Chains A and B, each alone.
Chain A
Amino acid sequence: MRTFALAGNPNCGKTTLFNALTGATAHVGNWPGVTVDKREGVYKGGGKNINIVDLPGIYSLSPYTPEEVISRNFILDEKIDGIINIVDATNLERNLYLTTQILETDVPVIVALNMIDEVEKSGDRIDAQALEKALGVPVVTISALKGKGIKQLMERAVSMPSERKGVTVIKEEFVKQLETACAFYEAEEVSSPLFHAVKLLENDVIELERKGASDVLEKISDGRDFEAEIADRRYKYISSDLASAKVKAEKETLTKSDKIDRVLTHRIWAIPIFAVILFFVFHLTFSENLFYLNGFTEGQAWMPSLEELGYEDNFGTKLLACFYDGAVFSPGVILTNLLNFVLDYINLGVSSLIGVCNGSAWVDSLVCDAILGGIFAVLGFLPQILFLFLGFSILEDTGYMARIAFVLDRIFRRFGLSGRAFMPMIMGFGCSLPAMINTRTLADEKERTATIRVIPFFSCGAKLPILTAMAGGILEVFGVGNVDVITLSMYLAGIIIAVCAVLLMRNTTMRGETPPFIMELPAYRLPAFKNLMLHLWDKSKHFVKKAFTIIFASTVIIWLLQSFSWGWQFLLEDAQKLFESDPEKWASLAEVEGLVNVQMDKSILGSLGMFVQPLFTPLGFGSQLGRSFGWVFAVAAICGLVAKENVIATFGALAAVVARTYIDWEADEVLAAAAMIEGTGITVPAIISFIIFNMTTIPCFAACATAKGELSKGKFRWTLLFWVVTSYLCAACVYTVGSWWWTLFIWLAVAALIITFIVLRNIGKFDILKIFHKKRRK
């Protein structure tokens, strides 16, 4: 099968073209550096299958960044049949700099002038034929986003001759030097000798590693540094020989993007605007009082509930309550309510079916309480997760997130990170894994390690159910706060913890210079509907897959552990059902509940939970919750280590047996969390502490495996320790300060001591190693 590589500058549309050619759904974003490694796919459009390799975006073929090394090695070593050089037609001059280097290889090249529709829209014109004549390789105009010109591009790529000799634009100035260097490489029988010869003149470190190359360079250079001269010659060639192919229309000097940037990247207003945009994304996703139409406080509320309006409790009212019930709900909440409405009836239907089939109470408990309760508790969040990601995807695809990286660079720099670290962090809101992989764009090893360590603090999609369910539970039981405000606050708390952790690391174990941040700001673009839908489809597919595999297996295991004792004796599962099945047998429901509580504590899960429970006492969800069901929060936190969705799935599976107020056919995750709160008597500070602990502790197994792969040797075990210590301390701080306000002064005193120690150590006034050595000498 023939192989073609897609090469080009960052954010020129390589991955969009890759998706269009192969039908893949690789992540596309409107910012440079989305792709950090090569990926492969198959083009089936032209009769014969063609292997397409998407290379990471690069500005040159010199080894300045890891992406450039990956692309260069692939082009030179893999004996590919051709390079499709994608050129952003809106930035022709800068993109052609790479083209002049690709042309120096002996690999057949075709130039794809992408975004030609945007050029035409702006009134400019590019003469592709003139460009083709000047470059000496085929040039095709395309729009990868709209799928225009792709067929012609591939037809011309396939019909290219299989052999080509490299050409260079610097030949006239460096004739003698190139002849000598080429002769050296030809004698070495290296492919693309001209490319290697030019790179040797540029003082390329990879070329200098070759035996004898430095002698050749010394001989031909006479101590001169050609690198800058060559770069200058390339740009002169582009501006004099190639730029004439582009005819610019007369227009204002400021583009639309420039005008928008005047506001959105304003020195003072940029961050408040970002905060407002973020608030609206969260408000539209989580708020149960859209635009605060029903007032900001309970006292201002004027909208009547459906019950107050005299609606009877029937199917129609329940459906209406998905949209309005004492307040207008946000779109995210409406979609969630509608899905839960359907899931509730599925659960009720299954429960009725079991009853009709004379199924035992324990079968009903296993299927409805444990399996469906657990799976639906997680699935119920899908609409809100998708809505939140739709908001993030729109911000990313318009090019706004790239601006925020630029705006935040100023602030990040104070904490020892560059603005580039913001992009992986933002990706962490989706999933920690691709975010950790994306840190490869960070050149500094220490900055990269610090970023990987704090990525799990940026609450991923799997942690969202914990935040929303617990926030809903607080509102349901204590009547405090708003779900959207609590959720947003928890997200912000994660960011603040990440910033503090980075600050601490960059001043102690990860000290070093913050590298400069240079990023090309992409033009603002309207997000492509297809791309947005692909992001959401992928998210839903994997979420549902996870619910019916890992979550399903986990809930069955949890049910088994809670239903059996160590002696493999089946325990009573639901006091309410047991009481209703034979009311004459029992004196009261309380008697049955007491019996169930005792039995549940004898279960395998109960005894394991009670064993680990004391560990969580300083965090507020340990021994103080008592032994009867008090261990459920500890168990949920530990189950979350497999996959964070398991925390709420565990609540869903256990809710029916913990609190009789929980109606088991209403597989509602908020009610499950409320049942846990009521059943255990946990306090608000302890709930917040529970959320903080789950947000900052060791992430899921898959994220740990990725962190291990991405971190340098020996760093992973310290990273695990870092996650455990950070989560424990932060949760303990939240619980103690929330419960006893005066403990804030103790925490502040400890923090002040640590800061003093770090500052003294950094200015050289206090060196623990020196003190230690002095003592030893004495």
Chain B
Amino acid sequence: MNAFDIAVVAVITVAAVGVIGWLIYRKIKGKGGCCDCSSCSGCNACRKGKKKD
């Protein structure tokens, strides 16, 4: 395992942990209902939208 391998693994680990952490954070913050359906501005499905009601 050379320095390049370690650097690649480090970057990918940070990115993967970051994505998973971000998904968990959104879930905790109540924004996890987003479906990426491209209609966010008109959607009240996630808890973020429901708070406004």
What residues of chain A have their CB less than 8 Å away from a CB belonging to chain B? 15, 24-27, 35, 37-41, 354, 357-360, 363, 366-367, 371, 430-434, 437, 535, 538-539, 541-543, 545-546, 549-550, 552-553, 556-557, 700, 702-703, 705-706, 709
Contacts and interface: CB of A to CB of B under 8 A. Distances in A.
Interface string B8-50: 1100100110011011000000001111111111111100010
Contacts of A40: 52
A538 B42 contact: no
B43 A433 contact: yes
B2 A358 contact: yes
Interface of B: 1-2, 4-5, 8-9, 12, 15-16, 19-20, 22-23, 32-45, 49, 52-53
B19 A552 contact: yes
Contact of B37 (A39, A430, A550): A430
A309 B35 CA distance: 48
A556 B8 CA distance: 13
**Main SS of the interface on chain A?**
helix
B36 A545 contact: yes
Contact of B5 (A363, A535, A538): A363
Given A359-B8, A434-B37, A538-B40, 7 more contacts: A25-B41, A39-B49, A360-B2, A434-B45, A550-B23, A556-B12, A556-B16
Contacts of B37: 430-431, 433-434, 542
B38 A363 contact: no
Given A433-B43, A542-B36, A546-B36, A553 B20 contact: yes
A430 B9 CA distance: 36
A415 to B, nearest CB: 26
17 contacts: A24-B41, A25-B41, A37-B44, A359-B5, A360-B2, A363-B5, A366-B9, A367-B8, A538-B40, A539-B38, A542-B37, A550-B19, A550-B23, A552-B16, A553-B20, A556-B16, A702-B33
Contacts of A535: 38
Best-surrounded residue of B16, B20, B53 (most CB of chain A within 10 A): B16
A706 B45 contact: yes
Contact of A41 (B34, B41, B49): B41
A658 to B, nearest CB: 22
A549 B22 contact: yes
A538 B38 contact: yes
A359 B44 CA distance: 47
Identify which of A35, A366, A433, A550 gathers the most chain B CB atoms within 10 Å of its CB.
Answer: A433
A706 B36 contact: no
A35 B39 contact: no
A35 B19 contact: no
Contacts of B4: 354, 357-359, 363
Q: Which 3 A-B pairs have the closest CB atoms?
A: A431-B37, A538-B38, A26-B42
Nearest to A430: B37
B13 to A, nearest CB: 9
Contacts of B23: 549-550, 553
Contacts of A700: 35
A750 B53 CA distance: 49
Most chain A CB neighbours (cut-off 10 Å) among B32, B36, B40, B53: B36
B33 A538 contact: no
A363 B22 contact: no
Contacts of A363: 4-5, 8-9
A26 B12 contact: no
Contact of A26 (B22, B35, B41): B41
B20 to A, nearest CB: 6
Given A24-B41, A360-B5, A553 B19 contact: yes
A434 B41 CA distance: 11
A60 to B, nearest CB: 22
B42 A27 contact: yes
B19 A542 contact: no
Contacts of A359: 2, 4-5, 8
B33 A26 contact: no
A26 B36 contact: no
Nearest to B43: A434
Contacts of B42: 15, 24, 26-27, 35, 39, 434
Given A358-B4, A437-B45, A705 B36 contact: no
Contacts of B38: 430-431, 535, 538-539, 541-542
A371 B33 CA distance: 26
